[in-house]
Amino acid sequence: MARSRTYQWNRVHIPGIVHLPLETLPARLPELPEDRLLITFCTGGIRSAGAANLLVENGFEAANMSRGLFEWRAAGGPLTS
C-alpha cells in the first residue's frame, strides 16, 4: 500500500509541501515546526485525518484538509508532478 501512496505523490502533489507518509509520521515528529499550523492532506482526506489527529495528540496545532486533492483540484489549486 505504501507503494501506491508514493506513486500518488510522484504523479501529482501541491507545490512546496513536505511529503510525510502516515506510516513515517510518528518517527518524524521531531522534524516538524511547532510554531505554525500544520495542514495534513492526502488524495481523499481520510488518511490525513488520522495524521492531523496524531499531530494534535502530540501537541501540534494541526488541521486536516477535508477531501484532500479532490477538493484542492476542484477549487483550482495549483498542482505539480
* 34 exposure class (CB count in 10 Å sphere: 0-12, 13-18, 19+): exposed
pLDDT by residue (tens digit) across 23-34?
Answer: 999 999 999 999
Report CA dihedral (71, 77, 78, 79) to the nearest 10 degrees.
0
3-state secondary structure of 10: helix
**pLDDT at 70 exceeding the cut of 90:** no
Residue 40: which H helix or E strand, with range? strand 38-40
pLDDT above 70 coverage of the chain, percent = 86
